[in-house]
Copies of this chain bind each other. A is one copy, B any other.
Amino acid sequence: MSERLTQRDIARLARVSQTTVSLVLNNRTAASARIPVETRDRVLKVIRETGYVADPLARRLLQQRNQILGVFTYESVFPSASADFYHPFLSGIEESAEELGCDLLLFTSAPVTDGHRLVFHENNRLRIADGSLLLGRRIPAAELSRLAAENYPFVSVGRRDNPLLPDGTPALIPYVGADYTTATATVTTRALQLGHKQLAFVGPGQDAESSADRLLGFQQIAPRGLHLPPPAPAERVKDAALARRASAPAERERGARSRSSKGASALLATPPASPVPPAERAGRAVGDMLDELLGRGVTAVLAEDLADAAALAHSARERGLAVPGDLSVVALGDASRPVEGDGEYSGFHIPRKEMGRRAVGLLEAVLSGEEAELQQLLNCELVEGSTLGKVKGI
């Protein structure tokens, strides 16, 4: 039907050569390219009338910029499970991209296997974009080192360990991350100040940098604190009322997709900050964990995942325990969800939107060759909340 217009078509319509069209388009005003206003206007008029835009692929072939920023997500973007995780990032990215006048290219062509995508597959189209943002809880070191080795301009949203290049030297990965270590250390300190003697950290503590960083911050302050892996997600429970309230709009869409992966690894077992409501996690495992915690005299729990924090608090309250009276619960993630009762969870807030914004800024700096701090950590905002209190009996 509608054939794609080329510069030759424009040239023909404007009665000039393809070269001239290119020169006009790129505003070349060098001595070797003198286009009088009259001709220039004639060309521009045709371009406006036809809505011609240069083929981005042809431009990239010559290493030109297209005002297209790539967004590569290591999981699917839109399915509801990841929605709340990606959304704030994307919101910030969109805002910045708009300011820069860039379009965003979502690499949906990369096949998803097992819920994960990889940049380097047979037909990777990364180079269509001028540069890319990488999002995901965890990014394989091999991908990062290869991107760095190929000199591809990218910025990771989230801190990443610097991988080794094939030649053995470490690569400097550009990122905009959140300073989980400091934030976790701070809330841990706060817990100690409130008189808690036995603390527990609940979370994988490894695999993803974000998990490791939190554990590190915890152990810096409370080296003798407990570290427990996250509870296994229970099957969905009957009591759907609570669950629905939290996730209703997307509920129907989701139906088909099984939420908990079959996998046994800690990583897969805890989807990134997914908004799994308390009720769904209040299975046996959480109860067991609570037994263990109480048995060991723990008075304050710090959970990486808000859902785990919620499940623990819920479970504790069901047993007649007061939160934070008998047990303090801290969320090392997005603590800004209301607790049953009142107030928010104590913990900190991840500046996701700002991370998105800054990541675009950094990528732009990289692309235009500006000087810039390649590795940036943003502060997490502490949330006082209502689930961390003085230890009982003080």
On A, residues with C-beta under 8 Å from B are 1-2, 4-5, 48, 50-53, 55-58, 60-61, 64, 66-68, 76-80, 83-84, 87-88, 90-91, 93-95, 97-98, 101-109, 111-112, 120, 122-128, 149-153, 241, 244-246, 248-253, 275, 334, 336-338, 342, 349, 352-353, 366, 369
Q: Are A336 and B2 in contact (CB under 8 A)?
A: no
**5 smallest A-B Cβ distances: which pairs?**
A78-B91, A2-B151, A53-B127, A104-B106, A97-B108
Closest CB-CB distance, A241 to chain B, in whole Å?
Answer: 7
**Chain B residues whose C-beta falls within 8 Å of the C-beta of A111 in the assembled complex:** 98
**Chain B residues whose C-beta falls within 8 Å of the C-beta of A101 in the assembled complex:** 109, 123
Q: Are A336 and B252 in contact (CB under 8 A)?
A: yes
A119 to B2, CA, bound (A): 18
Q: Are B97 and A103 in contact (CB under 8 A)?
A: no
Q: Are B248 and A338 in contact (CB under 8 A)?
A: yes
Among A50, A67, A112, max chain B CB count under 10 A is at: A67
Can you name 27 A-B pairs with beta carbons within 8 Å? A2-B149, A2-B151, A2-B153, A4-B127, A4-B150, A50-B150, A51-B124, A51-B126, A55-B66, A55-B128, A56-B128, A57-B60, A68-B105, A76-B94, A77-B90, A79-B91, A83-B87, A101-B123, A102-B108, A103-B108, A105-B105, A105-B106, A106-B106, A241-B342, A245-B246, A248-B338, A249-B334
**Least CB separation from A149: chain B residue:** B2
**Chain B residues whose C-beta falls within 8 Å of the C-beta of A127 in the assembled complex:** 4-5, 51-53, 55-57
Given contacts A2-B153, A78-B94, A107-B103, are A53 and B125 in contact (CB under 8 A)? yes
**Chain B residues whose C-beta falls within 8 Å of the C-beta of A104 in the assembled complex:** 105-106, 108
A58 to B60, CA, bound (A): 9
**Chain B residues whose C-beta falls within 8 Å of the C-beta of A50 in the assembled complex:** 150
**Least CB separation from A100: chain B residue:** B109
Q: Are B51 and A1 in contact (CB under 8 A)?
A: no
Q: Give the residue of B78, B95, B97, B98 whose beta carbon is less than 8 angstroms from that of A87.
A: B78
A80 to B91, CA, bound (A): 8
Given contacts A252-B336, A336-B251, A369-B1, are A106 and B94 in contact (CB under 8 A)? yes
A249 to B102, CA, bound (A): 27
**Chain B residues whose C-beta falls within 8 Å of the C-beta of A61 in the assembled complex:** 55, 57-58, 61
Q: Give the residue of B107, B128, B253 whose beta carbon is less than 8 angstroms from that of A352.
A: B253
Closest CB-CB distance, A171 to chain B, in whole Å?
Answer: 10
Closest CB-CB distance, A50 to chain B, in whole Å?
Answer: 8
**Chain B residues whose C-beta falls within 8 Å of the C-beta of A2 in the assembled complex:** 149-153
A94 to B80, CA, bound (A): 12
A322 to B103, CA, bound (A): 51
A241 to B340, CA, bound (A): 10
Q: Are A105 and B108 in contact (CB under 8 A)?
A: no
Among A66, A120, A342, max chain B CB count under 10 A is at: A66
Q: Are B245 and A150 in contact (CB under 8 A)?
A: no
Q: Are B53 and A126 in contact (CB under 8 A)?
A: yes
A276 to B334, CA, bound (A): 21
Q: Are A338 and B245 in contact (CB under 8 A)?
A: yes
Among A50, A56, A151, A153, max chain B CB count under 10 A is at: A56
